[in-house]
Amino acid sequence: MNRTAPHVEVRNLCVTVRGPDGGPLRIVNDVSFDVARGEMLALIGESGSGKTTIALSLMGYGRGGARISGDIRVGEAHLAGQGGASLGAQRGHRITYVAQSAAAAFNPSRRVIDQVIEPALIHRTASAASARARAVELFRALALPDPETIGNRYPHELSGGQLQRLMAAMALITKPDLVIFDEPTTALDVTTQVEVLQAFRKVVRDQGATGVYVSHDLAVVAQMADQILVLNRGRVREQNSVGRILEEPADDYTRMLIAAANPVVEARGPGVRAKAPLLTIDGVFAGYGAVDKAGRPAHPVLSDVSLSVGRGAAVGVIGESGSGKSTVARVVAGLLAPTAGTVSLDGTPLAPMVGGRTREQLRRIQIVFQNADVALNPAHSVEDILGRVLRFYHGMNRVDAQRRVAELLDLIRLPANVAGRRCDELSGGQKQRVNLARALAAEPDLILCDEVTSALDTVVRGAILDLLADLRRDLGVAYLFISHDIATVKALCDEIVVLYRGTRVESGLCESYAAAPYHPYTDLLISSVPEMRTDWLADETAVARAPFAHMGERPDLCRFLPRCPMAMANICDVLPPPRRTMSAGNAVLCHRTEEDLVP
């Protein structure tokens, strides 16, 4: 093989699908690129840019009957025009794939190790014993705990981050010519993402693997890739080295992507904080499952959470999955009864469940869910959805409702002709706007936003955040904004509450999160957000190992203890933590004093 020729060569790649009108629709248009041996190329773009389609066509796979044309060469194999057996010989052997959701990609009824070594056995590249040995080696390289035995577990016994790394091991077991990573960390918590990225980068370097990394997140890509290919609507906008793209982007679209990655919301709220808060959550305990005699649910989620939202204020609630942040919204909305504590609106305690609240109280608090695909009824048109709220709360007749729907659509910056369409005909961003408009239709005082921007890609997210900020300024609506992404929360909110396993570990004004001191968990959250520079990701976790990692949780002690690198013997593992107020005004639930918490 010619040493100077690129390892992967793609020329004039086009992918055509059947369009909605039945005619051919090109979703990838004349894309050409090379990947040198041992390099990682990132494909980046918004959803619909064709990045995953290109990645899959490298395996000769077109989703839903898509037709692939052009030249694709991986190593010495030409893929174009191949099919059946010869393609099967490449897939999972010379070209492998790491999917977005490993949790869904593993078979839940088989042990992990059997699935990891399966490609090697199918393609007969190694015996079962040597494949197992290589798997264990890869597990160790991927920094998985107990590399010798972890493979004997079943997928449900492992965390999302661990499964994602195991999937990488599966992809590398046959020593492939090309590994395709398709948004492998998008579904993970930000703290887990760091570990997984570190493991991926190390193993890719050690194995000398060539890769294609699909992502919408420039900051993540900056850590992983050598080259970046920027895509928009199936066309190449720019290809260059990571450093050049980040520092001197040549294309307008690239500049827009970079700008959108750091959301800056221009329109801040009124800034006046009224004395009497609009919503007060006081000492709320809540959970799922049967409640025992002591009033504790079988699966407690929230313990002693208090917070308040002023009129027209935006309060962010942040935490990783399992922190109970969505449960806060469900308790406030009256969908889940707290086992203790109260929720009050304007000083009036609210009934624990929806059924006990007046229609006026219900109208004043509206909830917007994360995933607009399931939050909007697919059987109804946009007009039905918004009109129902208008009739329900405001008793409007058909004509008034129609006029108001048009106003609402204008408010959320959608064309008026959307009204007659069903939701499955709208794009993700449009759906999320309709989702928001439904809450606005009630003319609420408070909107509970549960991860409303998490399912959107960066450009759309920026637009939705701008819209939220404008609505707040113009309508004076308050937000309880729940998110796992601290950058989003910082951009929109004036106050931030950090939840960890159902306890409020820190709360304070947005400004107090600009610099330490903060709670060790907040510190971890903030430092885990990838920054847009190539040297951000350290090779090894610099954080000292947590001294109490072996300890299980005890309800009265600090919940973060098993992960806390700053825990103190005989204090943190004995006494419940006090709430300290720092000089910046943020309240931190920790034994450490302000001086300790400043690095």
Residue 128, both tokens: 């079962």
Output 362 or 543, the one with its CB closest to other proteins: 362
Contact segment (CB under 8 A) with other proteins among 373-381, 403-411, 531-539, 542-550 equals 373-381
454-to-464, 481, 487, 521 alpha-carbon distances in Å: 11, 12, 12, 21
Q: Show contacts of 342-347: CB within 8 Å, 24+ apart.
A: 342/280, 342/281, 342/282, 342/283, 342/284, 343/279, 343/280, 343/281, 343/282, 343/284, 344/279, 344/280, 344/282, 345/278, 345/279, 345/445, 345/446, 346/276, 346/278, 347/276, 347/280
| Element holding 255 (H helix, E strand) | helix 252-261
Contact segment (CB under 8 A) with other proteins among 4-12, 191-199, 377-385, 579-587 equals 377-385
369 binds other proteins (CB under 8 A): yes
Residue pair 536/246 in contact by the 8 Å Cβ criterion: no
Minimum CB separation from other proteins for residue 354, in Å?
6
Output phi, psi for 391, to 5 deg.
-65, -40
Four-residue CA torsion sign, 219, 222, 224, 230: positive
| Nearest CA among 199, 75, 184 for reference residue 147 | 199
Distance CA 221, CA 223 (A): 5
Output 125 or 361, the one with its CB closest to other proteins: 361
Minimum CB separation from other proteins for residue 439, in Å?
9
| Element holding 221 (H helix, E strand) | helix 218-224
Output 390 or 557, the one with its CB closest to other proteins: 390
Position among 187, 221, 375, 390 found at the interface with other proteins (CB under 8 A): 375
334-to-111, 279, 282, 595 alpha-carbon distances in Å: 41, 13, 15, 41
Minimum CB separation from other proteins for residue 388, in Å?
8
442 binds other proteins (CB under 8 A): yes
Output phi, psi for 205, to 5 deg.
-70, -45
Position among 1, 374, 544, 569 found at the interface with other proteins (CB under 8 A): 374
Position among 81, 243, 378, 555 found at the interface with other proteins (CB under 8 A): 378
560-to-54, 194, 300, 362, 427 alpha-carbon distances in Å: 42, 18, 16, 35, 39
377 binds other proteins (CB under 8 A): yes
Minimum CB separation from other proteins for residue 317, in Å?
17
Contacts of residue 462, Cβ cutoff 8 Å, sequence gap at least 6: 259, 260, 263
Output 175 or 380, the one with its CB closest to other proteins: 380
335 binds other proteins (CB under 8 A): yes
Contact segment (CB under 8 A) with other proteins among 184-192, 247-255, 288-296, 330-338 equals 330-338
Minimum CB separation from other proteins for residue 478, in Å?
17
Position among 187, 229, 345, 376 found at the interface with other proteins (CB under 8 A): 376
Minimum CB separation from other proteins for residue 390, in Å?
11
Partners of 447 in the β-ladder: 366, 479
Helical segments of 412-515, H only: 428-441, 458-475, 486-492
Position among 41, 260, 333, 401 found at the interface with other proteins (CB under 8 A): 333
598 binds other proteins (CB under 8 A): no
Contact segment (CB under 8 A) with other proteins among 91-99, 293-301, 386-394, 464-472 equals 386-394
Minimum CB separation from other proteins for residue 375, in Å?
4
Minimum CB separation from other proteins for residue 101, in Å?
19
Output 298 or 335, the one with its CB closest to other proteins: 335
CB atoms within 10 A of CB 520: 26
Output 333 or 440, the one with its CB closest to other proteins: 333
576 binds other proteins (CB under 8 A): no
Distance CA 496, CA 513 (A): 8
Output 259 or 362, the one with its CB closest to other proteins: 362
Minimum CB separation from other proteins for residue 335, in Å?
6
Minimum CB separation from other proteins for residue 183, in Å?
23
Distance CA 8, CA 37 (A): 8
Contact segment (CB under 8 A) with other proteins among 66-74, 388-396, 466-474, 550-558 equals 388-396
Minimum CB separation from other proteins for residue 67, in Å?
22
Per residue, the 3-state secondary structure of 278-346, as one string, reads: CEEEEEEEEEEEEECCCCCEEEEEEEEEEEEECCCCEEEEECCCCCCHHHHHHHHHCCCCCCEEEEEEC
| Nearest CA among 180, 221, 245, 213 for reference residue 41 | 213
Distance CA 267, CA 106 (A): 45
187 binds other proteins (CB under 8 A): no
Exposure letters 119-153 (e unless 16+ CB within 10 A, then b) = bbeebebbeeeebbebbbbbbebbbbeebeebbee
* Amino acid code (one letter) for 587: A
Residue reference for tokens 């294609």: 212
Residue pair 259/224 in contact by the 8 Å Cβ criterion: no
Contact segment (CB under 8 A) with other proteins among 58-66, 120-128, 332-340, 406-414 equals 332-340
Minimum CB separation from other proteins for residue 359, in Å?
6
Output phi, psi for 40, to 5 deg.
-120, 125
Output 385 or 597, the one with its CB closest to other proteins: 385
Position among 73, 380, 421, 533 found at the interface with other proteins (CB under 8 A): 380
Per-residue x/- track, 286-325, other proteins (CB under 8 A): ----------------------------------------
Output 332 or 525, the one with its CB closest to other proteins: 332
Residue pair 347/364 in contact by the 8 Å Cβ criterion: no
Stretch 197-236 residues interacting with other proteins (CB under 8 A): none
Stretch 476-495 residues interacting with other proteins (CB under 8 A): none
Per-residue x/- track, 349-368, other proteins (CB under 8 A): -----x--x-x--x---xx-
Q: Give the orientation angle of helix 190-207 with respect to helix 160-172, to 10 degrees.
A: 20
Output 439 or 464, the one with its CB closest to other proteins: 439
Minimum CB separation from other proteins for residue 369, in Å?
4
DSSP-assigned letter for residue 472:
H
412 binds other proteins (CB under 8 A): no
Output 289 or 378, the one with its CB closest to other proteins: 378
Binding site for other proteins (CB under 8 A): 333-335, 354, 357, 359, 362, 366-367, 369, 371, 374-380, 388-389, 392-393, 438, 442
